[in-house]
Structure 1
Amino acid sequence: MILNLIVYCLFPTFISCTVNWEDCGQADRSLVFHKINFKSDKIIIDGDEPIQAEVDFSVLDPFDYEVTMSAELRRYFKLLFIEKSFKVPCINDAGSCSGSFCYFVQSYANLARSFADSLHAPFNCAMEKGRYAGNITYPIPTNVFNKIPSVITKNLSGKYELVIRWYFGDQEAGCLAIGSALQINP
């Protein structure tokens, strides 16, 4: 009886610590994700260890300057043993934001340049047709947390899901969903 209780209590903990991803795009999509393998079980932001992932995707139709994107970031928590979530609002281009793909490439220029270099792709929001693969290493700076009280920063750690959708006009070009436990240690 005690063993069953331990298994039921700990099993969800093990599940929530893995980084999961899914190509959630429609059948006629232009952006196809083949592989995203993270080096660690969860994403840790501590200023010491960079995020490392193996990425492999194809662009079936070239991306031009008209591509838009939307991101929905959800934070999960348990309330009386029931999992709930809330949508994190868009603040300073982070959270659940939408707009021009080129705008976000420029807004996150360091991250975008790191990805482009790792994937041997040009640093540009217009992407040519082709397959892009490589190992990405990106150190997430912790200085963004300096202005946030430590009580709040400690409560930012938890389970998150990010769903990003790219669009050509009204037609979805691709979709990527990533879920992970996030640990912040500024």
Structure 2
Amino acid sequence: MIKIPKFFHEILGEYQSKSALVIIALFVLISGAAAGIFGYDEWKGLSLVKQIVTWLLFLDIAGGVVANLTRGTDLFYNQHPKKRWIFIAIHIQPVILAWSMEVPLYYGVTIWIYTFIGAVFLNFIRESPFQSLSAGSLTGLGLLIVAYWGQTLPFLVSVLFIFYIFKVLFSFSVFHYKGDTK
């Protein structure tokens, strides 16, 4: 296990395996390249500031999709319940993404509110045997919304909304390593 510097604990936990770090990096690089290529026509005309914001959001969201599934991150947030609540409260990326990609703000606000309410609910039932099942259901319903909107939203926005919902509702909110202490 690799000891993670304190500055990165909220992203990767206190410890990570080498293989987990490699998988996180590969997922971010491959999904970023694919999204960048497939969505090029949608983001190339944005101002430089909006392009930078969009790609920083991509790094954060895509990295979290995988990092939040790791033992290190899962156990870190289990041991720090206050930080778990802060994580849920500050993740307003869909609203920022709607601005940076110049789509109507209500798309981002709706995804954020839905995900926020779902994450709060899942945090309250953290010890329930139905938490994972509930998270899967809430994630699936959120993906259904994005799939429907995907008919009118740019590809890159749809991808990031999907990643965001999965990241917060399933990767982060589910206590994947119950019974594991370190």
Alignment TM-score, normalising by the size of structure 1: 0.30
Higher RCO, Cα 8 Å, sep 6+: 1
More strand by share: 1
Higher-Rg member (1/2): 1
More helix by share: 2
Alignment TM-score, normalising by the size of structure 2: 0.30
